[in-house]
Amino acid sequence: MSSVRTLRAGILGAVLLALTACGAGQSAAPVAAPSASSTTSSSQSPTTSSPVPSASAEPSSPSAAPPAVEPPASDTAAPAAEPPSDLAAPPTGPVLPAAAPTALSVPAIGISSPLIELGRNADGTVEVPSLDDPDSKPGWYRNSPAPGTLGPAIILGHVDSREFGPGVFYSLQNMKAGDSIEVSRADGTVAEFVVDEVESVQKSEFPTLEVYGNLDHSGLRLITCGGEFDPDARSYESNIIVFASLAGSRSA
Amino acid sequence: MIRKLLAVVGASGCALGMAMIAPASANAADSWSFQTALNPIVANKVSGTGASWITVTGTTAEVKIQVNGLLNGSPHAQHIHIDAQGQCPTAPQQHNGLPSITVADGAPFYGTIGTSLTNDGDTSPAAALAVTQYPTAGSYTYARTIQVDPSVVANLQKGTAVLVVHGIDYNGNGSYDNVLGASELDASLPAEATDPALCGKYEPMQMAAVPDGAADTGGGSTAISGTGSQTGIAIGAAGLLAVAGAATISARRRRSEQD
């Protein structure tokens, strides 16, 4: 009994630290200076091999391959000016036309919530939902592709609030490969994603291109915080990231 | 929504600060991003790698570069090259009797310098060889927000902007020397100091504006640690109980997963 309690206490401590994610304000993000900042640091930065799918595809290769799916309907996030030069490789999975996401459902961890929209803060960091709302909603980062279109759609939610306990993504780290994620969209369709993997990463080594880089399919990333909470910075030291791919769609 | 956020920030007097007060400056309509994988110039006996991404808003460019595995302790000039084929060179020429690729050899492929990615100060082509202004580590991360010439933006959009990181150690002796002769750009420099080491063409990103760094997706109210209370994070007694309960459940669940 006592050993159980001890064990639980130990786990409790560990889990409390490990489960919750990110903090307010001065995050661990090293580059917070707003304007002409320059930081150059020596580090064993992660070998970020870019996930550019067509890196090896020379202009000659996409010959007679029929466009299996309709091309990435230029959604709100696509640079309107010029078509992608070499990114002509057809998507490897289903791709939906652009439509704004309206709600998120993650049965495995009991999430069913409307979505808000998030932008980018003046310092370049991603806007997050309110940390002081006990009923804080997850949000779609509007500068990312709409869920269901080609590329990495980004949805962020809090692991906890400042004062009100667990947030909507409190249990995100319990997700597993194969779990389903559904995003309802303004066009009346539901984009059905399947989880590929769940990662916990140090914020100081945030794998930018792995999370935000180009994809050859329609992807989704759910992001929250994890790791230890730094009370001085009021920030968690890690991010929990769920990587998922579009498997199909249906009418709502 | 914004008003609510502001009210909350004001009430809590808390650290979200500037970030929340000026939310969402960039949006899909006025920003776009580009990424590249940096590959080694193999002919120059480079084995390093890297990656870069840029978010452009108008002519403001937020440049991020990650480099690994170059010669340590020696300056690595880095430039965005423009106005050519948007390609990286692969075919070596003979220099000092050795097959290698100089900046001039690469120019027909990646073009002339559009931007010098210095640590400080001038970023124009004039700073191309300001060797004291570039990173000197073998592995580094570079982040700088600069103004770029409209032609650089145009080349990024056209797919003809190429990032080149310079500085090689052809003979593997740990420093720049004249094994390949003098630099064709500046005879006072060894060719090893200016020959291209890593190269990558920028591609448009599906993401309009890449966020800077990690996401601040937690407030800490479930992070009960010994230090939490010292810093005066306000957690009501009721909240504490609720949080403790939830955490215990999670602990059990986690344990059962491990078992």
Taking only the tens place, the pLDDT of each residue in B169-216 is 999 999 999 999 999 999 999 999 999 999 999 999 999 999 998 888
Q: Considering CB atoms only, which of A15, A21, A30 is closest to B217?
A: A21
Q: Given a cut of 90, is residue A15 above it in pLDDT?
A: no
Judge whether A193 is closer than 8 Å to chain B, CB to CB: no
Q: Given a cut of 80, is residue B259 above it in pLDDT?
A: no
CA distance B161 to B254: 48
Q: Considering CB atoms only, which of A16, A118, A150 is closest to B224?
A: A16
- What is the pLDDT at residue A134? 81
Q: Given an 8 Å threshold on Cβ–Cβ distance, is A45 in contact with B250?
A: no
Judge whether A96 is closer than 8 Å to chain B, CB to CB: no
Judge whether B256 is closer than 8 Å to chain A, CB to CB: no
Judge whether B142 is closer than 8 Å to chain A, CB to CB: yes
All structural domains of chain B with their residue ranges = 31-204, 221-259
Judge whether B198 is closer than 8 Å to chain A, CB to CB: no
pLDDT above 70 coverage of chain B, percent: 75
- What is the pLDDT at residue B17? 32
Distances (CA, A) of A115 to A101, A212, A225, B154: 7, 20, 18, 35
Residues of chain B with Cβ-Cβ distance to A30 below 8 Å are 143, 213
**A211 to chain B: closest CA residue:** B210
The pLDDT tens digits of the residues spanning B88-131 come to: 999 999 999 999 999 999 999 999 999 999 999 999 999 999 99
- Which pair of structure tokens corresponds to residue A5? 């309690």
Q: Where are the beta strands (DSSP E) in B110-251?
A: 112-116, 140-147, 162-166, 196-201, 203-204
Distances (CA, A) of A240 to A101, A198, B157, B218: 21, 7, 33, 11
The pLDDT tens digits of the residues spanning A126-145 come to: 998 888 888 889 999 999 99
Amino acid at position A68, single letter: A
Judge whether A214 is closer than 8 Å to chain B, CB to CB: yes
Question: Torsion over CA of A81, A83, A85 and A87, rounded to 10 degrees?
Answer: 130
Mean pLDDT along residues A199-209: 93
Judge whether A58 is closer than 8 Å to chain B, CB to CB: no
Question: Is residue A181 within 8 Å of residue A195, measured between CB atoms?
Answer: yes
Distances (CA, A) of B33 to A123, B174, B218: 16, 36, 27
Please tell me the number of Cα atoms within 13 Å of B251 on its side-chain side: 21
Amino acid at position A93, single letter: G
Q: Given a cut of 60, is residue B232 above it in pLDDT?
A: no
- What are the backbone angles phi and psi of residue A81, rounded to the nearest 5°? -60, -55
* Domain A17-26+93-252 in this protein, CATH class: mainly beta
Amino acid at position A218, single letter: S
**A176 to chain B: closest CA residue:** B257
Is the entire prediction scored with pTM above 0.95?
Answer: no
Amino acid at position A8, single letter: R
Q: Given a cut of 90, is residue A196 above it in pLDDT?
A: yes
Q: How distant is the Cα of A188 from the closest Cα of chain B, in angstroms?
A: 23
Q: Given an 8 Å threshold on Cβ–Cβ distance, is B215 in contact with A81?
A: no
| Residues 145-164, chain A, touching B (beta carbon < 8 A) | 145, 150-152, 154, 156-164
Higher pLDDT, A146 or A92: A146
All structural domains of chain A with their residue ranges = 17-26+93-252
Judge whether A38 is closer than 8 Å to chain B, CB to CB: yes
**B19 to chain A: closest CA residue:** A121
Name the fold adopted by B31-204.
Immunoglobulin-like (2.60.40)
Judge whether B258 is closer than 8 Å to chain A, CB to CB: no
Complex ipTM tops 0.85: no
The three-state DSSP-derived secondary structure of A105-143 is EEHHHCEEEECEEECECCCCCECCCCCCCCCCCCEEECC
**Residue B29 pLDDT grade (very low, low, confident, very high; cuts 50, 70, 90):** low
- What is the pLDDT at residue A165? 86
Judge whether A249 is closer than 8 Å to chain B, CB to CB: no
Q: Given a cut of 70, is residue A50 above it in pLDDT?
A: no
Residues of chain B with Cβ-Cβ distance to A79 below 8 Å are 32-33, 157, 204-205, 208
**Residue A88 pLDDT grade (very low, low, confident, very high; cuts 50, 70, 90):** low
